[in-house]
């Protein structure tokens, strides 16, 4: 009889009732549990728990009964609010975006370092009002469609933005969103789209999948600018999808170094037989499959293969390990707010510049009524522009005549880089208790805001008068600028110059003679009250605010995503610091989007001076990036110059008002000695108002957040161990020194 009872108990356990998938996730997060903790308790893999929470899979005995018991106890502790109770049916996605539920208090996680400030960002802060609408939350996996002819039948109610616009942007051509994650379940190929939509995929081969995507899937995104082009659909192939379509799940070491699979691979032969082509970079982690355009009609599909390391973990976190619905949500949110990824975040950052300022546009009709392609004013055009010799990086063809081992000095080479400066603590600072780091939000994006950059070729000038409105590089001696006495506003102010870094060099050292500087650096010397007399210059008379649209797009994406995580632009300082504590744990998927947006900024600026990437390159020879109109080291130098100057301007104003000086600066992070543990213990706020022109806490680009706090004893201990040149800003976040900061 007992065996029968055991069998009955096992039968009941096999059907233990479970709440809907989104409720399972809510309960776990409400108790502060991670997916790894639940997986360890139930002795299953992390991906298994993620599948249960996404609705992709259902637990089976004996884990099902234990999982049901866990959720039942959590439901007693955290009952669902009546207004947000989960519907009983799991086949339809919610119609509107709702923010992630606020979890119980969690261990604070400090925000990572990012990027500096414009001259006026402390005025009225940008709000999220003009930001793109929040992307829909990926709901539970809807029921599959049956296989149908074009167009495919959707499997869930359409997600709507708060304004009532369909998630596809209102364009019927792209009504299923910009991308889909292709997976195989139970022998059936499924395409997970944004908004919880799932489509049946009838394609049996990769060429057929490309055809289906262009003819039936209705994927893609409308252009970002009038003269621009629509974004091609993006397919993300899971490991199972790679196996289904004959692709390797992972690349060999040789293939990984080459960045592609061999030309003789069977899948590439299939594509060739179907008259599909690949770009010059071949079939790699980000592959583009196309046929030559016919008129205005494009036939191109892009593939992203996470198991081939398409999603760099430094920028995309654990996105590659997410279940298909959650990965579709992460990439879909990024695509709707930034643009459909075109490769790495750096590549996408550069492509976003071109998408917002296309090089050509249609002309007015001629006498026969035909339109022609013409230069689009304000863009970089279609042809690459030679840089000035001082702007050329080492190995550039312009420097081919230099002696082989010649090292160019400051008078030969423009060297505008971010800060990496530190100094010993003073006796007074050693008596303080803590070292507090503050970090500038999206510093390089803020440095690009409103910046006038060159658009055309450089012009060489001898003995020119300095013009702050003219972008370029200037050979000038700034060694006479004395930081002990500078103009702050219109008043001369005396400071302790020995405690300040020079604004003219990345290492903070005072210049020793003539050197090449970008326009923002020389303009700052004039702002500090000193005359400048350039001996030479390379300037660009054709110029404009090329990066404004790029900045606005990324700013809005960042602010909207942070608002979804509970950090809004209108929070007072104390509430802002509280909201930043543990913001990544409120919705780890949206936190991935934040990291990707910040990486897009840094990577896009860095890509403007892309260096050779193997390919048998030798110094003095051209490399592939030089053929791009967007290879513009002068623009990169101007953005970095302005970012560094913005940081120095705030440091000077803070020192003039409070008498406090930074002990270390690393790019966009500054460290100050203080008695307390919070930035509010040394930032001057009066009645909630910050020092005009100084540091201000907030989420907008150019404002600052808390980076981390360590004790003064910690800092002095590192100085004793590694030397006084150790940059404490590099380790202020978590206090862990991963390597010596002495150049080794």
Domain architecture of the chain: domains with CATH: 2-84 (1.10.260), 128-360 (no CATH)
Residues 78, 30: Cα–Cα separation, whole Å: 7
Q: Say how far apart CA 547 and CA 643 lie, in whole Å.
A: 14
In angstroms, rounded to a whole number, what is the distance separating the alpha carbons of residues 397 and 394?
9
Integer Cα distance of 731 and 1 in angstroms: 66
472 DSSP assignment:
E
Order of all β-strands in the sheet with 472-477: 459-462, 536-539, 472-477, 514-518
Beta carbons within 8 Å of 114's beta carbon, 6+ residues apart: 439, 440, 441, 442, 443, 598, 601, 602, 668
Contact at 8 Å (CB) between 56 and 185?
yes
Q: Which of 243, 239, 276, 280 shows the shortest CA–CA distance to 260?
A: 280
Q: Is 86 exposed, middle or buried (0-12, 13-18, 19+ CB in 10 A)?
A: middle
CA dihedral 213, 219, 222, 224 (to 10 degrees): -90
Cα separation values, 174 from 2, 154, 326, Å: 60, 13, 20
* Interior angle at CA 111, CA 110 and CA 116, nearest 5: 135
Q: What parts of the chain have a pLDDT lower than 50?
A: 83-168, 740-744
Distance of CA 471 to the CA centre of its chain: 27
Tokens of 414: 């423009």
| Contact between residue 74 and residue 28 where contact means Cβ atoms under 8 Å apart | yes
What is the pTM assigned to this prediction?
A: 0.79
Mean pLDDT of the residues in the chain: 86
Structural contact between residues 535 and 475, judged by C-beta atoms closer than 8 angstroms: yes
Q: Phi and psi at residue 242, in whole multiples of 5°?
A: -60, -45
83 vs 89: CA distance, rounded Å: 16
Q: Which tokens belong to 614?
A: 């193997």
Candidates 278, 262, 270, 210; CA nearest to 246 is 270
pLDDT for the residue 7: 60
- pLDDT, residue 265, reads 95
pLDDT at 11 (0 to 100): 56
pLDDT of residue 5: 57
Find, among 596, 602, 698, 563, the residue nearest to 338 by Cα. Answer: 596
- Phi/psi for 320 (5° steps) reads -65, -20
Give the C-alpha distances (Å, rounded to integers) separating 634 from 350, 519, 638: 15, 10, 6
The residue among 390, 667, 368 whose CA lies nearest residue 508 is 667
The answer to whether residues 380 and 455 touch, using CB atoms and an 8 Å cutoff, is yes
In angstroms, what CA-CA distances link 442 with 76, 217, 351, 532, 689? Answer: 42, 36, 19, 31, 22
Q: What is the pLDDT of residue 14?
A: 56
Angle (nearest 5°) at CA 204 between 173 and 309: 75
pLDDT of residue 164: 33
CB under 8 Å to 302, separation ≥6 — which residues? 232, 233, 234, 235, 286, 287, 288, 289, 340, 342
Residues 75, 66: Cα–Cα separation, whole Å: 14
Tokens of 534: 């350039």
Contact of 183 with 243, CB cutoff 8 Å: no
**Interaxial angle between packed helices 588-607 and 324-337, expressed in degrees from 0 to 180 and rounded to the nearest 10:** 50
| Alpha carbon distance, N-terminus to C-terminus of the chain | 74
Alpha helices of 474-587 — where are they, by DSSP H?
A: 519-527, 548-564, 573-580, 583-586
Q: Please name every residue paired with 277 in a beta bridge, in sequence order, or none if there are none.
A: 290
| 229, two tokens | 């082009």
Q: What are the CA-CA distances from residue 498 to residues 225, 287, 404, 422, 663 (Å)?
A: 49, 53, 38, 12, 11
> Contact 53/33 with Cβ under 8 angstroms?
no
**Tokens standing for residue 573:** 């300082």
- Report the SS3 class of residue 358: coil
């Amino acid at each position: 009889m007992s065996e029968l009872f055991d069998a009955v108990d096992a039968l009941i356990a096999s059907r233990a009732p479970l709440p809907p998938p989104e409720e399972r996730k809510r309960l776990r997060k409400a108790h502060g549990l991670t997916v790894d903790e639940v997986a360890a308790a139930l002795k299953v893999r992390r991906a298994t728990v993620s599948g249960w929470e996404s609705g992709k899979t259902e637990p089976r005995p004996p884990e099902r009964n234990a999982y049901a018991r866990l959720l039942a106890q959590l439901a007693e502790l955290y009952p669902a609010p009546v207004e947000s109770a989960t519907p009983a049916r799991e086949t339809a996605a919610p119609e509107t975006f709702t923010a992630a539920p606020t979890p119980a208090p969690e261990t604070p996680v400090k925000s990572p370092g990012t990027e500096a400030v414009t001259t006026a960002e402390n005025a009225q802060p940008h709000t999220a009002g003009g930001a793109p609408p929040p992307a829909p939350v990926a709901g539970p996996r809807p029921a599959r469609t049956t296989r149908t002819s074009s167009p495919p039948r959707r499997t869930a109610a359409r997600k709507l933005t708060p304004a009532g616009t369909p998630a596809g942007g209102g364009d019927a051509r792209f009504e299923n969103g910009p991308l889909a994650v292709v997976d195989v379940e139970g022998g059936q190929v499924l395409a997970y789209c944004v908004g919880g939509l799932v489509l049946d995929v009838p394609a049996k081969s990769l060429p057929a999948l490309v055809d289906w995507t262009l003819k039936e899937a209705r994927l893609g995104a409308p252009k970002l600018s009038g003269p621009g082009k629509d974004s091609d659909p993006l397919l993300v192939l899971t490991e199972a999808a790679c196996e289904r379509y004959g692709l390797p799940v992972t690349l060999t070491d040789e293939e990984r170094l080459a960045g592609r699979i061999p030309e003789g691979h069977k899948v590439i032969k299939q594509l060739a037989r179907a008259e599909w082509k690949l770009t010059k970079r071949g079939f790699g982690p980000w592959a583009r499959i196309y046929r030559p355009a016919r008129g205005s009609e494009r036939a191109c599909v892009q593939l992203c293969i996470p198991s081939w390391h398409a999603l760099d973990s430094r920028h995309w976190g654990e996105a590659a390990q997410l279940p298909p619905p959650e990965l579709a949500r992460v990439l879909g949110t990024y695509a709707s707010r930034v643009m459909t990824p075109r490769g790495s975040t750096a590549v996408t950052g550069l492509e976003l510049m071109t998408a917002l300022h296309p090089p050509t546009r249609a002309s007015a009709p001629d006498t026969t009524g035909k339109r022609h392609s013409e230069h689009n004013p304000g863009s970089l055009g279609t042809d690459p522009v030679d840089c000035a010799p001082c702007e050329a990086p080492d190995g550039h063809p312009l420097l081919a005549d230099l002696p082989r081992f010649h090292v160019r000095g400051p008078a030969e080479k423009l060297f505008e880089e971010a800060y990496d400066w530190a100094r010993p603590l003073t006796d007074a600072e050693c008596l303080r208790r803590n070292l507090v780091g503050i970090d500038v939000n999206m510093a390089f994006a803020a440095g690009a805001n409103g910046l006038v950059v060159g658009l055309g070729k450089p012009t060489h000038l001898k003995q020119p008068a300095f013009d702050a409105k003219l972008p370029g590089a200037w050979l000038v001696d700034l060694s006479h600028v004395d930081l002990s006495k500078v103009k702050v506003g219109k008043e001369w102010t005396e400071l302790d110059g020995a405690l300040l870094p020079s604004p003219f060099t990345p290492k903070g050292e005072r210049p020793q003679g003539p050197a090449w500087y970008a326009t923002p650096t020389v303009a700052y010397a004039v702002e500090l009250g000193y005359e400048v007399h350039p001996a030479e210059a390379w300037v660009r008379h054709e110029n404009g605010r090329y990066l404004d649209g790029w900045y606005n797009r990324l700013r809005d994406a960042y602010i909207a995503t942070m608002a979804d995580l509970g950090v809004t632009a209108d929070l007072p300082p104390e509430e802002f610091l509280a909201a930043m504590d543990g913001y990544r744990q409120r919705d780890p998927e949206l936190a991935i989007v934040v990291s990707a947006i910040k990486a897009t900024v840094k990577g896009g600026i860095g890509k403007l001076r892309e260096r050779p990437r193997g390919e048998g390159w030798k110094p003095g020879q051209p490399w592939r990036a030089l053929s791009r109109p967007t290879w513009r080291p002068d623009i990169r130098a101007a953005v970095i110059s302005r970012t560094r100057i913005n940081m120095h301007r705030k440091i000077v104003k803070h020192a003039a008002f409070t008498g406090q000086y930074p002990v270390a600066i690393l790019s966009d992070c500054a460290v100050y000695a203080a008695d307390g543990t919070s930035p509010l213990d040394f930032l001057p706020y009066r009645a909630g108002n910050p020092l005009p022109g100084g540091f201000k806490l907030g989420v907008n680009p150019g404002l600052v957040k808390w980076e981390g706090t360590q004790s003064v004893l910690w800092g002095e201990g590192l100085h004793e161990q590694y030397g006084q040149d150790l940059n404490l800003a590099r380790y202020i976040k978590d206090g862990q020194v991963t390597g010596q900061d002495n150049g080794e």
